[in-house]
Amino acid sequence: MALYRTEGIVLKTRNLGEADRIVTLFSPAKGKVRAVARGARRPRSRFVSATQMFAHADFLVFSGKSLDSISQVEVKTSFPRLHDDLTKLAFASYAVELLDAMVEEGAGGEAGQGDEGGQGSGEVFGLLLSYLHALSGGRDPEMTTRAFEIKLASILGYRPVLDSCARCGAADRGGEVGFDPEAGGLVCAGCLGRSPGAVRLSRGTVELLKRLSDLDFERISRLGAGPGARSEMERAMRAHLDYRLDRKLQSLEFLAAVKAAPGGGR
Ligand SMILES: [Zn+2]
């Protein structure tokens, strides 16, 4: 059996048998990796903290015929603040489920379909790690997560078109616009009539979406978007991503419940 070493972040865990746990990791070199951690559900197991959601660790893995198996692990951080705060937990759970749904298993160094720039899973890994640190460090969870969505989509080849009409190609001149998931971005006033599924966007929201794609998480957290713009951004990105996903994400219900609770989704 071959042994390999990889850094990884836990995207998903599932119980197996009496005491084992199967984890899906995201590795900068290998993309999505599934491996079993034997005995991980026993209280004294050395795998307990390394097999929690979001754990960032160095893994030593045996590659098996059907399933890889974790042999050793060294945890870098388990992001305890993401587990202690329901709002952060809900946003982080959504982000890792989104990544899991958008990236094929075994995609290796080339993350996703339609990847034009040749950027691979290393870039996706870096994005996820900086997102989890930003969220854990108290950055605005909603804006940080919107930025994660748009940056992830861009790396995977689904960057929304924001500076021209995604239908007719006319440059955006600041007039009335919508966001059309089918066309993959902004649509001009002239094309809105042919985009029944479009989300109407105010000018401020268009500018914010551009910034989410360009700025780092710390600066995004300080943008100070109002509730109207937040709602428009959320609807536009939800439509953009759902159009490209083949299943509904389970974590969205948890996220909606947390946001609806008093003081939720700050
Ligand atoms: Zn147009």
Q: Can you tell me whether residue 27 is helix, strand or coil?
A: strand
How far, in Å, CA of 18 to CA of 41, rounded? 8
- pLDDT, residue 117, reads 35
> Quick one: CATH architecture of 2-77?
Beta Barrel (2.40)
Q: How are beta strands 68-77 and 31-37 bridged, if at all?
A: parallel
How far, in Å, CA of 4 to CA of 61, rounded? 5
- pLDDT, residue 107, reads 58
Separation of 130 CA from ligand 1 center, angstroms?
A: 36
Separation of 227 CA from ligand 1 center, angstroms?
A: 28
Separation of 94 CA from ligand 1 center, angstroms?
A: 33
Question: Which residues of the chain carry a pLDDT beneath 50?
Answer: 109-118
How far, in Å, CA of 122 to CA of 209, rounded? 24
Tokens linked to 12: 């998903």
Separation of 159 CA from ligand 1 center, angstroms?
A: 18
Q: Can you tell me whether residue 207 is helix, strand or coil?
A: helix
- pLDDT, residue 1, reads 64
Domain residue spans of the chain: 2-77, 80-260
Q: Annotate 47-60 with b (16+ C-beta within 10 A) or e (fewer).
A: bbebbbbbbbbebe
- pLDDT, residue 106, reads 65
Separation of 161 CA from ligand 1 center, angstroms?
A: 12
Separation of 120 CA from ligand 1 center, angstroms?
A: 32
Instruction: For the domain made up of 80-260, give the CATH fold.
Output: de novo design (two linked rop proteins) (1.20.1440)
Separation of 205 CA from ligand 1 center, angstroms?
A: 18
Separation of 239 CA from ligand 1 center, angstroms?
A: 19
Tokens linked to 234: 């959320």
Question: 209 — phi, psi (to 5°)?
Answer: -60, -40
- pLDDT, residue 257, reads 94
Separation of 191 CA from ligand 1 center, angstroms?
A: 4
